[in-house]
Structure 1
């Protein structure tokens, strides 16, 4: 019934993965220059799908380093007058088009106020690309492969700061990730199709996450389910679930729990126990621990939960939803259509 996405994505992961790995020096050299210059804190900033992709890296830094790290909506960062944001900061922007007004204004703000800013961009010679102090190109075609460049950059910063001495070992696993993600495609393809068949007309979905998985939960709920398919959604932190949200959980509610592999997994497991007892009929659990990642050291796979989820949700579920519903970016009512 559905077109063959797996073969298409496997080809992209393998070919674009090789190109991205071969270009790792670009991200590393940017990290080295920034480390040499020095910084006292890091702000990851963006809007829409861009901020959701880089959220996890602020959390990773918090776990591995004493470097203060934050993620912020680009527009809010500019108007909030945070005392922590100054010339000793590093602002990290990810920009898909390089023309979105929030990131254009933020990169201009950083330039005007002499705040070091690095832009991870997919299109060169755009307002964002031309305004940032440091620039690294990202893969244009593949969302999972874009993660690789960000991993190289962030973990190189941590290595330079003395927080992650096993950087080269980590990179050896990172080189195996594109092929490992091909195994994720095979493992989840049928499940993704089943999800779409059962839930493509759900009026409401509750997405629950913890730890590094916040960005991927928000990306699908807001930037895909709501924006493309006009399904109403809510995202909820697993620890916060028991402070109000549990009262809307029942067998009539489609609930998607994204189980992490790191220290917050215990929070996900607590939610899962409750939901299997009281709201199991439309419960979907996506557990990144269920996927084999050949060649990836178990010591590092917890850092890769977001990219595994990206394959399952953004690559497979989203594209099958587009095919099943006939809705897509081309059928949006407001975004890019009306002035706001």
Structure 2
């Protein structure tokens, strides 16, 4: 596979899986101490990657759960945030200033704080009540963060008696590192084709629903816009027909992210419309992924993880094709803002 270290990938994703037990222990202690709310406080892409876990909690748990932008939280506060809250702060570098400020804000309130970082020797890697470290870089962080946040949600539900299938699900998730590698191998022959299609257009409408919407949003904003300077219009499939449809015409690129949860029909509807009005529709469907040993309910849960691992392969070809490394920035961490 192009520009890909299989051993490194397996090491990082296996590291994420191994955090399931210590995460479960930390969450159990917090719930036993009377935690009554859960906050995911990630800045930028890290916050987006917490959304599938937030959705899982909304669908399966009665615990009040929020995914809030740290910069806003520090300015406005939140009625549900208190000493009885569990606060999860993800940041690959562990230095994101908005997240560091939010951690301090929440600790001052007495909340139980959890950091998910790639570097132990960082403000977030040292500052929370529970610090979970799994080294990763931009090309491997999506899957790692998705997994860690899902483990947190599952552990909260387990501690509250809302996840009777906890152990089965965690056991299946432990199989994912090797299975994701197979997914990468399967898409590699088509990755260059997809990269060329993306490179051929300077504007892309990107849509998904349910747990795939965060990955659609993330890929548009954090990869194509930030890392490739390609304009995108991420839009939730349920909003596709409330504005964005008027941008669709021949030649306009529409990228659709399909998962396996109960919202799949929303993307099907967008696809049916788009195919009537543009010849540039690309569908990325997790049903195409062979995942032996993974149950249907877990497949639905991990749809964004599978899409992230597929698109890493496409991005690896895209950066070479466009002679634009994914690490190139004009402004991000380059200038004062």
TM-score category of the 2 structures, normalised to the smaller one: over 0.9
2:287 matches 1:285 = no
List gaps (5 residues or longer) in structure 1.
Answer: none
- Contact kept, 8 Å, 1:20 with 1:139, in 2: the verdict is no
Deviates more, 1:321-330 or 1:95-104: 321-330
- The separation in 1 between residues aligned to 2:313 and 2:326, in whole angstroms, is 16
* Structure-1 residue corresponding to 2:292: 294
Q: How big is the shift at 1:21?
A: 3.7
Task: Spell out the pairing of 1:155-166 with structure 2 (5 A cutoff).
Answer: 155-166=154-165
TM-score of the two chains, using structure 1 as the length reference: 0.92
Distance in 1, matches of 2:18 and 2:225, equals 37
Residue of structure 1 in register with 2:132 after alignment: 136
Alignment: residue pair count: 334
Question: Which residue is 1:334 aligned to?
Answer: 331
Structure 2 distance, partners of 1:25, 1:322, is: 37
Match of 1:24 in 2: 20
C-alpha separation in 2, matches of 1:333 and 1:22? 36
Which runs of structure 2 are paired with 1:71-220 in the superposition (5 Å)? 71-141=67-137, 142-143=140-141, 144-220=143-219
Structure 1 residue corresponding to 2:318, chosen from 318, 321, 324: 321
Query: Shift of residue 184 of structure 1?
Result: 1.0
How far apart are residue 103 of structure 1 and its match? 0.6
Is contact 1:207-1:257 (8 Å) kept? yes
Further displaced range: 13-22 or 210-219: 13-22
Provide, for residues 168-218 of structure 1, a one-character-per-residue CA deviation record: whole Å limited to 9, x for no partner. 111221121112112211221122210111221421111101111222112
Q: Secondary structure at the match of 2:282?
A: strand
The two structures, once aligned, show a CA RMSD in angstroms of 1.8
* Contact 2:319-2:326 at 8 Å conserved across structures: no
Judge conservation of contact 2:183–2:289 (CA < 8 Å) in 1.
yes
Provide the rounded CA distance (Å) in 1 between the counterparts of 2:289 and 2:277.
27
Q: Helix, strand or coil: the match of 2:241?
A: coil
- Separation of aligned partners in 1, 2:328 and 2:116: 28
Residues of 2 paired with 1:59 and 1:85: CA distance? Answer: 19
SS at match of 1:331: coil
Q: TM-score when scaled to structure 2?
A: 0.93
User: What secondary structure does 1:86 align onto?
Assistant: coil
**Quick one: distance in 2 between partners of 1:213 and 1:168?**
24
Worse-superposed segment, 304-313 or 322-331: 322-331
Contact 1:78/1:106 (CA < 8 Å) preserved in 2?
yes
Answer with 13-22 or 56-65: which moved more: 13-22
Per the alignment, residue 44 of structure 1 pairs with 40
Aligned to 2:264: 265
C-alpha separation in 1, matches of 2:48 and 2:303: 14
1:5: how far off? 4.4
- Alpha-carbon distance between aligned partners in 2 of 1:104 and 1:47, rounded to the nearest angstrom: 10
Partner of 1:311: 309
Partner residue, 1:254: 253
List, as ranges, runs of 4+ consecutive aligned residues in structure 1 with deviation greater than 6 Å: none
After TM superposition, give the deviation of residue 153 of structure 1 in Å: 2.5
Determine if contact 1:52/1:215 at 8 Å carries over to the other structure: yes
